[in-house]
A and B are shown apart, each in its own frame.
Chain A
Amino acid sequence: MGLLFRFRNHHTVKKIIRHQYIYFMLFPAVLLIFVFQYLPLVGWLMAFKDYKPGFSLWSAEWIGFHQFYVFFFQSSDYIYLIRNTLIMNILSTTVSLFVSLIFALLINEIRVKFFVKTVQTITFFPFFISWVIIYSLMNALFAQESGLINQLLVSWHVIDEGINLLGGKQYAWGMIVAMDVWKGLGYNSIIFIASISAIPVDQYEAAEIDGAGRFKKMRYVTVPNLMPTLIVLLIINSGYVFSSDISKYLLFMNSLNWETMEVLDMYIYNRGLKLFNFPYATAVEIVKSCVSITLIIGVNQLSKKLTGKAIF
């Protein structure tokens, strides 16, 4: 037995030594991630304790699962929140990624370099505009009476009365998804454009020898080469389906469209974060982290089975 143990040990040590340079390369990343990401997780204790800023977390009294109870109990009747969150997040992510992929494909087909550069740079622009400004822009375009589009449509007699895009609950999902796609197009397509550059030229040459035309090359060479990136991005984003960008909803949600616009994070923000109820906020963070990690593990496994691609 002892011999076996020593042998095993010896084998492991050998394995480690063989890859010493890999460990060397991993070390700074592991250290930094540990310090900046895992160390502060000690703060999760806050959710179980009666913590007050200014006092030590260690000496605070244990209160158990009270905050979790509050969260689940109070928000249990808000099915519409979960519905809105999931629909908007899933649609936004998938549509954004697919549109960006197609955009990357199409821009790759343009041979005038100057034009390519211009289009790429300009499509990047909306990414930098804050939601406050987008709201004012949307108002200039779509406000029920003074919006440009509505005024034009009314003056052309397409419609009799302006469409209340910003206030109509039937438009909420479409509007959010469209804005996300528009805002993220340039940014999201960058990674696809970079991946296209990685496709070896010889694959195209081989396809040409087989008599493939332009579309066939796109379909059988470019698209399959982009799939790993697309899948990885879909997997990563699947962990975020319950998280929303509050700043967007703070502006676009109003008393007319809340039924379809209000999301889970908005609710949590109003009940906990805005009021600096730190233990409650931490409890919500823990729940969300657990859900996200479960989701990501599941999706990752599923993807491994279906496509053979995974992120870990």
Chain B
Amino acid sequence: MFNKNKALIVSLCLIVLLGMLAACSKATDQSPSTNKSAETGKSAETNQSGAAAAPQDRPFYSIKVMVRVLPEVKFEETGFGKIIKDKFNMTFDFIPYTGDYVEKLNLMLAAGDYPELLNIRNNDMVQKYIDANVLVPLDDYLEDAPNFAKMFEKYIPNWRISPDNKLYKWEANVPTDAVYYAKGLDIAVRMDALEQQGWPNLLSTDSYITFLKKALEQNPETNGQKTIGMTVAFAGNLMAWLPQVMFEKGGRYLASILNGVIFNDVTKEFEDLSTNEYVLESYQFFNKLYREGILDKESFTDTEDQVQEKLNSGRALSVWYSVYKTRTANPLLSKAGKPNMQYIRLPVRSDKQIERNEKRELFETDANAQGSVAITKEAKYPERIIELLNWISTDEAQTLMQNGEEGVYYTIVDGKKQPTDQYKAVLAKTEKDTFGLNGLSQVFPTYKTKDANGNYIDMLADPDVNDQLMLSAEERNAYKQLGWKNSYQYWLDTGVPQSVGLVYQVVIDPASELGAAEANIVQLRSKWTPRLIQAKNDEEFQSIWEQYLVEHEKLNPQKLVDEYNRLYAEKAKNQ
């Protein structure tokens, strides 16, 4: 009896299990079926032998694209998506990507399992894909894409990275005008502290120290919590970067990536980052901040999350580098009834930089390897992707892609685009982006500069429009009090556009011996920096600095610098 019962229970369980499995398998079946319909479509198309048919007659073409930031609305439901559906009978299915993208790219290549249209993070990776012969060369199609060839005439030679000089990729967000990155990542400061001290014009490191010291005295507590002078997220691997980054505030040096060298734009040579004079000044600044009790003691262990918390609550008077975090904090502070405690970003320069008064270099992107996009051999209709690419390379499509529809998202006043309330609502995230502004620009090129009339194609690029849309009334007022025309004024007045060019293409293979040496140099820097910042007085600082230099020399940094310069010279010669 007992056993029979048990058998019944077991068999019941099995039935339930099988049922669930069947249900799950059904869920999986959906994608193959769409695939199949597309395949039959393909054979239909080959029968037509490529004759240009009306869009509706051509098979519906849906392309899966992996994106980092998933748009809020499905592409086919957006305004832009509908236009493309009508014109080309195509749509895009955006798939969110998580995890490490470079790892994913390697895996897909290794297993031969890549989507039709793919963002390939960097040139090395693109080269790997080219070597494996899985990308569609675009040269055969260029004739059919005159708009594309014309709009990106200047950049297409740069995109021919393969030794065979064929074109396999394009780059998203190229070109991008310097105005987009003009505002430096320097320091953001709480507005009420500025107001208390009569809107001082801060620039030198000393002016910041006096200002923050006084502000701490005036506001010992915020919301019952101890006020923090300056918050920074040093935790993790950022210790090798954030306390050194002063060098990008002067002229001469472009922001580099986290490594051992920086590029001097005057001498056109790479230099050792760790021993740079501006870096030393940066350390001295942080050491002073630390000694004066302005630098948050917890900054050594704070990650970006903790910094964000400290800004959201207004507890910190200022934040170093992570000024973009104030974009989240400011609306929250406003909402919490503390609008005067919002942050504005201000510039900082070291003494030597002020003395030299060189123009700061503003990023002008004429190359963006991160945004490399290629059509793979998996693509069913590469010619249709090219057709779309060609349309996207027109002023009409670019204007649509960057601003949305005229009349809905913007109106033209005195020849300039002015945003509508609808657009403001989208930016403020009170309304969904139903036009799809955030979608295709992740895969197709966007021409983010001025048009023939000297107006920016993207209305957001215009400093006045941008301020009006992105800043709160209090922030705008704060800049006015400081005597700035808009939040861009300081940076645009004291900077010069500088194209990124070759510098970012010089890479040392991390797997090589020199690559390992570079990692050691960066690690050593990250380990010695806290000692420098925590030095008790100038003498101690000096002695730690000297000890550090000795240790640093042992790693033979000059060899690394030389190799960078050799690679740079090689690339420059090839151009």
Instruction: Report if A and B touch in the complex (beta carbons < 8 A).
Output: yes
B54 CB-CB contact with A under 8 Å: no
Asked whether B301 lies within 8 Å of A256 as measured between CB atoms, the reply is: yes
Asked whether A139 lies within 8 Å of B306 as measured between CB atoms, the reply is: yes
Contacts A254-B300, A276-B102 given; 14 further ones with Cβ under 8 A? Answer: A53-B132, A54-B109, A54-B110, A54-B112, A54-B131, A55-B132, A136-B306, A143-B306, A144-B301, A145-B297, A145-B298, A164-B301, A167-B300, A275-B510
A288 CB-CB contact with B under 8 Å: no
B residues in contact with A54, CB < 8 Å: 109-110, 112, 128-129, 131-132, 134
A residues in contact with B369, CB < 8 Å: none
A residues in contact with B107, CB < 8 Å: 53
The B-contacting residues of A in range 148-176, CB under 8 angstroms, are 162, 164, 166-167
Stretch at the interface among B58-66, B211-219, B524-532, B539-547: B524-532
B residues in contact with A136, CB < 8 Å: 305-306
Stretch at the interface among B158-166, B233-241, B446-454: B233-241
Q: Contacting A275 at CB < 8 Å: which of B302, B305, B511?
A: B511
The B-contacting residues of A in range 235-255, CB under 8 angstroms, are 250-251, 254-255
A residues in contact with B523, CB < 8 Å: 270
Size class of the B contact interface (CB-based, 8 Å): 35 or more
Q: Contacting B301 at CB < 8 Å: which of A55, A166, A250, A258?
A: A166
B residues in contact with A167, CB < 8 Å: 300-301
Asked whether A144 lies within 8 Å of B297 as measured between CB atoms, the reply is: yes
Min CB–CB distance A159 → chain B (angstroms) = 14
B519 CB-CB contact with A under 8 Å: yes
Most buried by B among A54, A139, A145, A166: A54
CB<8 Å pairs between A and B, sample of 9? A53-B128, A135-B305, A139-B306, A162-B297, A166-B301, A256-B300, A275-B515, A277-B510, A280-B511
Size class of the A contact interface (CB-based, 8 Å): 20 to 34
Q: A54-B109, A250-B236 are in contact. Are A146 and B305 (CB under 8 A)?
A: no
B210 CB-CB contact with A under 8 Å: no
The B-contacting residues of A in range 12-42, CB under 8 angstroms, are none
The B-contacting residues of A in range 115-158, CB under 8 angstroms, are 132, 135-136, 139, 143-146
Instruction: Report the bound CA distance from A256 to B132 in whole Å.
Output: 44
Asked whether B109 lies within 8 Å of A255 as measured between CB atoms, the reply is: no
Min CB–CB distance A105 → chain B (angstroms) = 33
B197 CB-CB contact with A under 8 Å: no
B residues in contact with A135, CB < 8 Å: 303, 305
Min CB–CB distance B372 → chain A (angstroms) = 16
Min CB–CB distance B380 → chain A (angstroms) = 21
What is the predominant secondary structure among interface residues of chain B facing chain A?
Answer: helix
B276 CB-CB contact with A under 8 Å: no
Min CB–CB distance B85 → chain A (angstroms) = 34
Min CB–CB distance A153 → chain B (angstroms) = 15
Asked whether B106 lies within 8 Å of A164 as measured between CB atoms, the reply is: no
A309 CB-CB contact with B under 8 Å: no
Asked whether A278 lies within 8 Å of B106 as measured between CB atoms, the reply is: yes
A residues in contact with B268, CB < 8 Å: none
B226 CB-CB contact with A under 8 Å: yes
B residues in contact with A270, CB < 8 Å: 519, 523
Most buried by A among B103, B236, B300: B300
Q: A136-B306, A254-B235 are in contact. Are A53 and B510 (CB under 8 A)?
A: no
Closest-by-CB residue of A relative to B305 is A136
The B-contacting residues of A in range 251-288, CB under 8 angstroms, are 251, 254-256, 258, 270-272, 275-278, 280
Interface string of B68-90 (1 = CB under 8 A from A): 00000000000000000000000
Min CB–CB distance A67 → chain B (angstroms) = 9
Min CB–CB distance B293 → chain A (angstroms) = 11
Closest-by-CB residue of A relative to B530 is A255
Asked whether A53 lies within 8 Å of B301 as measured between CB atoms, the reply is: no
Q: Contacting A143 at CB < 8 Å: which of B106, B298, B527?
A: B298
Residues of B whose CB lies within 8 Å of any CB of A are: 102-103, 106-107, 109-110, 112, 128-129, 131-132, 134, 225-226, 234-236, 239, 296-298, 300-303, 305-306, 510-511, 515-516, 519, 523, 526-527, 529-530
Instruction: Report the bound CA distance from A255 to B297 in whole Å.
Output: 13
Min CB–CB distance B456 → chain A (angstroms) = 38
Asked whether A144 lies within 8 Å of B298 as measured between CB atoms, the reply is: yes
A74 CB-CB contact with B under 8 Å: yes
Min CB–CB distance B133 → chain A (angstroms) = 8
Instruction: Report the bound CA distance from A255 to B237 in whole Å.
Output: 8
Instruction: Report the bound CA distance from A218 to B131 in whole Å.
Output: 68
Instruction: Report the bound CA distance from A226 to B519 in whole Å.
Output: 48
Q: Contacting A255 at CB < 8 Å: which of B129, B303, B519, B527?
A: B527
Instruction: Report the bound CA distance from A103 to B483 in whole Å.
Output: 67
Asked whether B527 lies within 8 Å of A258 as measured between CB atoms, the reply is: yes
Q: Contacting A251 at CB < 8 Å: which of B298, B303, B529?
A: B303
Asked whether A255 lies within 8 Å of B516 as measured between CB atoms, the reply is: no
A219 CB-CB contact with B under 8 Å: no
Asked whether A255 lies within 8 Å of B239 as measured between CB atoms, the reply is: yes
Asked whether B516 lies within 8 Å of A74 as measured between CB atoms, the reply is: yes
B residues in contact with A162, CB < 8 Å: 297
Asked whether A254 lies within 8 Å of B519 as measured between CB atoms, the reply is: no
B residues in contact with A52, CB < 8 Å: 128, 131-132
A residues in contact with B110, CB < 8 Å: 53-54
Min CB–CB distance B242 → chain A (angstroms) = 11
Min CB–CB distance A219 → chain B (angstroms) = 37
Asked whether A255 lies within 8 Å of B234 as measured between CB atoms, the reply is: yes
Most buried by A among B134, B301, B516: B301
Instruction: Report the bound CA distance from A270 to B103 in whole Å.
Output: 14
Q: A139-B301, A254-B300 are in contact. Are A271 and B519 (CB under 8 A)?
A: yes
Asked whether B297 lies within 8 Å of A53 as measured between CB atoms, the reply is: no
Instruction: Report the bound CA distance from A75 to B234 in whole Å.
Output: 26
A residues in contact with B300, CB < 8 Å: 167, 254-256
Min CB–CB distance A257 → chain B (angstroms) = 9
Instruction: Report the bound CA distance from A53 to B298 in whole Å.
Output: 43
Q: A52-B131, A74-B516, A270-B519 are in contact. Are A143 and B301 (CB under 8 A)?
A: yes
Instruction: Report the bound CA distance from A146 to B296 in whole Å.
Output: 10
Q: Contacting A271 at CB < 8 Å: which of B235, B298, B516?
A: B516
A residues in contact with B305, CB < 8 Å: 132, 135-136
A residues in contact with B527, CB < 8 Å: 255, 258
Instruction: Report the bound CA distance from A276 to B106 in whole Å.
Output: 8
A residues in contact with B236, CB < 8 Å: 250-251, 254
Closest-by-CB residue of B relative to A273 is B103
Instruction: Report the bound CA distance from A258 to B306 in whole Å.
Output: 20
